[in-house]
Structure 1
Amino acid sequence: MRSRLPLLAIFPVTVLTIVLGSPFILGNHPVRWESGSALPKIVIGDEKESSTPSGHTGDTATASSPSGSPSSATDALQVAKPWKKGMAQWGVQLYWEEEKTKRSDTFIENQARKHAKYLIGLGANSVSVSFPFYIQSSTSDTLSAGAKTPSPERLRRVLKVFQDAGFRTTVRPILDEGTLKQNNGWRGDIEPASRSAWFASYKKFLTPYLQAAEDAKADTFVIGTELNSLESDPGWDTLVPYAEKSFSGEVSYDANWDNYVTGRINMPVNHLGVDGYFPVKVADTAPVSDLVAGWNNWLDKKATGPLSKILVSETGIGAMNGAYHAPGDFYARRAVNPRVQANWYKAVCQVVQDRKMQGVYWWSLWFDDDPNTKPDDKVASRLDFAGRPLTEAAIKSCFTSDYAGPGTATTS
């Protein structure tokens, strides 16, 4: 990702310790980071290619970016096949840290258009706008917008650009972890001293953003992301109905991959996303089929067969050696290996289609960046995919595939 953020079926305790312990140590709780039930309100519960050697260090001419540059694929700012109910959501997480003192409204709107054009070139039909809110410590009772939190009015402007271009839009506030770093903290471990006060503060923060999402006719509002420690709190039983009354689109929750496969996601929502950073213990040269098998092994711990209620709300991986073992390690800066990233994208797309899932959102595009430029690997995150031809080709192949989407099936 182009991020400056700290990102990232019940088993015996011994097995979970062995299987899950190593990925946690390596940092698989990304930023942001089952199957469903037919009930109106759900408690989501038990439900060959060759690669270049690991020494490959650059994008080669063997796979050029789609149409030279994705944004050059079309001059019209209009999605080719706008999303409709039942179709797959082919999207990207657009991460937005506001620069209020530097960026005009005109800049913001033009930047949104630049990203829209790039995504249209990739064949995307969906975009999720993620942005930060803040907490002082893991035990704080209050949270708030910060200097880098976009205002509701500016959010409306950006959403309108994407809506006008025909994108399916999602609004996704996400708890920033900057103040938790000193204690190696993660958003999924917060323990507010007073949970009732925390939920009251969260409701106050969300209210104008729910209204902005409603005004902009957004499709989804993500009520929470990777808040493992709070998932079963009764505070949601009040907050979710409040959100549904304020916002006419779908209200969803995005679970972290660990809680999804090992526990019961006790959230009173009708729609569930999974932030998928499943570690797969294979070599950098492993074929795509091995990565597909690795993902399926994890998903099968929850439920086998189709997962038509589940959306891969976020996933990504670094274009570097060793990334398969800890895809949620957003800070490592090992030797660049674009094929590792591209093959991961191919594998995830295949899993989404084989398991008849709702779609996938790649992490991420950084709002202030130009997606048409090649990342500077001396300073850029290895998770950047924009400007990496192999990965862009994999995304376009995925987004323009024949997969029609989960339809209205009710199978889990």
Structure 2
Amino acid sequence: MKKFGWFLLCLIPICLLGQSSEKINGISFVASREGVAQEHVAEVIDLNANYAAIMPFGFIRDINSPVIIFNTDRQWFGETKEGAMQYIKLLHDNGIKTMVKPQIWIWKGEFTGRLTMHTEADWKILEDSYEDFIMTYANMAADAGSELFCVGTELARFVQLRPDYWHRLIAKIRTVYSGKLTYAANWDEYDRIPFWEDLDYIGIDAYFPLSEEKTPSVAQLKAGWQEHKDRIKALYSTCEKPVLFTEYGYRSTDQTAWKPWLVDRHEEPVNLTAQENATRAILEEFWPESWFAGGYVWKWFIDHKQSGGERDNRFTPQNKPAEEVLRDFYRRY
């Protein structure tokens, strides 16, 4: 019996090791006018983050325009190929892995999910332009050794109306990039994506509505998560792909979990507790789950000392109570 008991005891660490996997404790590293410096990366390390999303940008004139303008000398340094490469190198030098997540900005902040063409000719122009955009950064991600690549962000209409194009595009990306792939689906489109089987992660920008309360408690927020969480887990079970929150986060303002996707510059009162509670709730609900890969908090500015703070009602958790919640959870996971 003693020998058998010792055998079981020896197996326990092996079993636990087999079941454990590194969570992606990520930040969305906002592109800046300047290059990133060691002092900026030191703050990421201090947060216990192990991944950063690097986000070069392309620009479109309006939701019916088919041409993407990108990697120009009129853009901020961090939005370009050169800037993204510089960010990735310094992060990698410090042991922080990266996800390259090219994004589109439509003039006046129009929602990218509404990007739609009216003619087949314009669809073809858009497809060629997007392929040029995304393959530029897929090749860059390969050259830089980036661990993860996001093939698109919140492009619901484009995805739903041109599914064959996306299957072909993902296959082409695989020919130049050997890392893991995901797509950043908006919270209200993730269950209609036709190509999850082509990717390695189900990616969701997790701005789910949870509560209309001014300052919801952690318990109220966790209750608000349950229906959404069940649907997300059901998709995981169907696709057998781990779930990754390609973006998650809350503004430090009243009713932060009612419509978390709002990005307008409204002057709602600062509410640090609401942001802190919402951050704690999402971490407690998802990070312990074996089918959940992790996520990237939205958003983290490279100049930490000048970012966020107690008077800021925007998304960043920097220099707010929510930052301490993240630091603690990222340390544990």
For normalisation by structure 2, the TM-score amounts to 0.83
Match of residue 239 from structure 1 = 169
Confirm or deny: 8 A CA contact 2:249 2:315 kept in the other structure: yes
Q: Are the counterparts in 2 of residues 116 and 162 from structure 1 also a CA contact under 8 Å?
A: yes
Offset of 1:202 from its aligned partner? Answer: 1.2
1:393 aligns with 2:300: no
Tell me the CA shift for residue 269 of structure 1. Answer: 2.3
Letter in 1 for 2:272: P
CA distance in 1, matches of 2:67, 2:260: 31
Of residues 284, 293, 318, the one that matches 1:358 is 293
1:230 and 2:158 equivalent?
yes
Q: For 1:198 and 1:154, how far apart are their aligned partners in 2?
A: 25
Structure 1 length as normaliser, TM-score?
0.67
Cross-structure match for 1:164: 93
Contact 1:180 1:186 in 2 (8 A): no
Structure 2 counterpart of 1:399, which letter? Y
Deviation string for 1:53-88 (max 9, x for gaps)? xxxxxxxxxxxxxxxxxxxxxxxxxxxxxxxx9310
User: What's the CA shift string for 1:195-234, capped at 9, x where partnerless?
Assistant: 2221111111233322221111000111100000122421
Distance (Å, rounded) in 2 between the aligned partners of 1:210 and 1:306: 26
Determine whether 1:141 maps to 2:62. no
- The one of 148, 154, 174 equivalent to 1:220 is 148
Cα 1:191/1:306, change in 2 over 3 Å: closer
Q: 2:268 aligns with which of 328, 334, 339?
A: 334
Structure-2 change in CA distance of 1:153 and 1:373 (3 Å) = closer
1:384 aligns with 2:313: no
Distance 2:329 2:200 in 1: 26
1:314, 1:362 within 8 Å by CA — same for their partners in 2?
Answer: yes
1:148 is aligned with what amino acid?
Answer: Q
Question: Partner letter of residue 252 of structure 1?
Answer: T
Unaligned runs of 5+ in 2: 1-19
Q: CA RMSD in A?
A: 2.2
| Structure 1 Cα separation of the partners of residues 307 and 125 of structure 2 | 45
Equivalent AA in structure 2 for residue 400 of structure 1: R
Contact 1:95 1:131 in 2 (8 A): no
User: How has the CA–CA distance of structure 1 residues 323 and 109 changed in structure 2, closer, same or farther, with 3 Å as cutoff?
Assistant: closer
What's the offset of the Cα at 1:376? 6.1
Answer with 188-197 or 311-320: which moved more.
Answer: 188-197
Identity between Structure 1 and Structure 2 (%):
23
Match of 2:251 among 307, 318, 323: 318
Partner in structure 2 of residue 278 of structure 1: 208
Which deviates further from its counterpart, 274-283 or 146-155? 146-155
Alpha-carbon offset, residue 315 of structure 1 = 1.0
Aligned to 2:277: 343
Higher relative contact order (CA 8 A, sep 6+): 1
**Secondary structure at the counterpart of residue 218 of structure 1:** coil
Secondary structure class of the residue paired with 1:372: helix
Pairwise CA distance, 1:306: 7.3
Deviations 1:345-389 (A, max 9, x none): 11111121243310021000134xx212463676x552121111x
More helix by share: 2
CA deviation digits over 1:90-142, x for unaligned, max 9? Answer: 01001215x3xxx4xxxx142xx233211111111111112321112211222
Deviation at residue 396 of structure 1 after TM alignment:
0.9
Q: 3-state DSSP class of the match of 2:146?
A: coil
Partner Cα separation in structure 1 for residue 235 and residue 64 of structure 2 = 40
Contact kept? 1:373, 1:386, Cα under 8 Å: no
The one-letter code of the counterpart of 2:46 is G
Amino acid at match of 1:215: D
Contact residue 92 and residue 363 of structure 1 kept, 8 A: yes
Structure 1 residue 152: Cα displacement: 1.8
Which blocks of at least 5 consecutive residues in structure 1 are unaligned? 1-84, 404-412
User: Which residue of 1 is the match for residue 227 of structure 2?
Assistant: 297
Matched, 1:195 2:127: no
SS at match of 2:295: strand
On the 8 A contact 1:210/1:247 being kept in 2, the answer is yes
